[in-house]
Structure 1
Amino acid sequence: MTAPRSSTARPTHLPSVDVVVATHDRPELVRTAVDAVMSQDYPGVIRCLVVHDRCAPDTSLVHDGDRRSVEVLVNTRTPGLAGSRNTGILAGHGDLVAFCDDDDVWFEDKLTRQVELLGRTGASTSVTGIVVDYRDHHTTRIPRPEEMTVRALARHRVMAAHPSTVMVRRDALEGPIGLVDEDLPGSYAEDYDWILRAAAVGEVAVVEMGLVLVRWGSSQFARQWSVIVAALDHLLAKHTAFAEDPRALGRIYGQRAFALAASGDAGALAAAVRAVRTWPWERRSYLAGAIALHLLSADRVLDLANRRGHGI
C-alpha cells in the first residue's frame, strides 16, 4: 500500500512527531493502528501517545525505544474524543503533532511525506488523502488544496481531509489554532471544528495521495441523532462562516434536518423546509423530507452514501 517515493532530499534536522491515538475499548484495532505508527519509514523521533477514554489502559502497548516509543495514558479531561485528544496533546512535547483514530491505519510513508511538505511550504497544518474501506470496498478520496479554505470547508465538510491525516506544528496547535473543543456535544464534529479554525489561521497543505486506510461505518456517532443535532447547533453558533454564506448554512440545515428525520422527530419536515428555503440545491433537505414522510429509509440512504466513501 506504499506510494512511490518522492525524490525530495531530507532535511538535516528532522522534527520530532507526537502521534495521539484516542481509543475506547477496541484493543485489537488500536494495536493495529499503533503498529502502523511504529512502522513508519520516517527516520525522525516518533512518540505515540495512546489515550484510553473510559476504559482500562492496555499497558502491553508500552514501548520504550530511542527513536520510537509508545506511552499509555488515561483521559484526564472531558470524557470523549475531544478530551482524549487534548490529554495526548498536552502530554507531548514534539515539534509536530499528528492524530490517528484507533480504527485507522497509516501507510508507511505518511509521516515522511507530510514532514517534507510542511518543511517545503512552511504551512502550519497538513492533511493527506484517504482510502475508505467500507464492507471490503475501497474508495480513494483526495482533498484538493482549494478545498482547504474556511469558505470551502464551510460549504463542504471535506471528509477526505480526515482527522487521521492531520499533522500540525505544535506552536500553532497550542497557539493561534487552539486545542480540540471539549464543549462540542458528544465530541461530534470536533475534527471539523478544528480544521475550520486551522484554515482560518493559515494554509492547510495537502499531500495529494491516499495515505490512510479509514474503516468507514464504525463511527460511534452513526446513529446518535440527538447528539448530532446539538453539535450542529453548537457549530452554527460558533462559526460565522455559516451565517455569512447561504450555501454553507443550507448544508448544515440539511444535515440537521436529516438527523431529525432519522430520529423520527416531529420537527423534521419543518427543518427540511427551512433548509430548502435557505439553499434550494441542498440535497440532504429533500432526503430529510422523504424520510420524514416515510418514503425513504435513513439506514438505506446512509448505506448508499458509505458505499461511495461519503457520509451525510
Structure 2
Amino acid sequence: MPDLQNDLILITCASGKQSSALIPHILRSYQNIRLQCNSDTSAKSLSQKYPNTEVVQADLFNASDCTRILKDVTVCWLVLPPFHPHETTLGVTFIDACIAQKEARGSFAHLVYSSVIHPILQKLLNHDCKRYIEEYLIESGLSYTILQPTHMMEMLPLAKLMQDEKPIYPCNWDPKTKFSFVTTKDVGEAAAKVLENREKHVAATYQLVSTASPLNYVEACAIVSKVIGKEVKAEQRGFEDAVNTSIKMINGGKEPPKAMKEIGSRMFLYYNERGLIGNNNVLGWLLGRETTGYEEWVKLKVEEIKSGQN
C-alpha cells in the first residue's frame, strides 16, 4: 500500500497545465513532494508557490539528470515537454532511469505516464511518438499506469475573450470540426486518485475525456457567449500564421526548430479534417462523479477569472 507519509513523489513539468492541476491534490496527501522544472524562472515561481516542496531543475533529455531527480523517489507522475522533436528519446531515457533506480534496490515502485488519447494515430507525430513510449513502458517490467487525455479545454484563451469588446477566437483549424474535450481540473483529480491508490491501477490505461458529446469551436464559442453575455466568434486563421504563432508560443516565445514546426503542422492539418474524438465513460468511473461539461467549465473559469481581478 502507498505510504503517503514517507513515499517521495516526483512530478515532472511541474509548471505545466496538467501538473499544476495535480499539485493541489497531492499537497493534501503526500508529505514528500519533488517538483521538476527546466528553467530558472519556473524554479523560482514553484519555490514561492509551494514552499514545502523540493524544487529541482533538470533536463529530461539528460540521462544523468533523470538519475539525479529520481533518487529516493517512490512514485512518479511523468509529463514530457510538448512538441519536443525527441520526445520518444526523452521518454525512453526517463524509463531507463526508473528501471536502474529499481534494480539498484531503490524505492521506486510506480510510474504514471500522461500520454495522449489515441497514440496509434500515426499521422499525428505528437501522438505517434507517445505510442513508442507506451510500448517501452509496458515492456519495462515497471509497475505503471497510462493516462490518455484528449484536447484540453484550457486551450481557449477565456480571459482574453472576456476582456475584448468584440471577442474573436482565432482557431488554428476549421472551427466546425468536432472534438472531445477534457479539462485539467478532471485530469488533475483523476491523476491524484491513481497516485494515491496506485496498486488498484497497475497496468491500466485510461482514456481521459470530459465532454459527453463532441462539439466544435463554433459551438464552444456559443457556450462562452451565453455565459459571459457577449457574442464570441470563432474564425479560422491562415495555416502558416497558425503554425508559426502557436508553436513559437509553446517554445517559450523563441523561434522553434524546424522539426517542432513540422509536428505542429501535421497536427493542425489533421485537426482541420478529423478533429479528435473519445468517450468520457472511463473518466467518469475513475472520478466517481460526472465529468465536467464544457458549459460547467466555462462558468467555473469565469468565476476564477473574476475573483482574480477583484
Greater fraction strand: 1
Q: TM-score scaled to structure 2, two decimals? A: 0.29
Q: Which is bigger in relative contact order (C-alpha 8 A, separation at least 6)?
A: 2
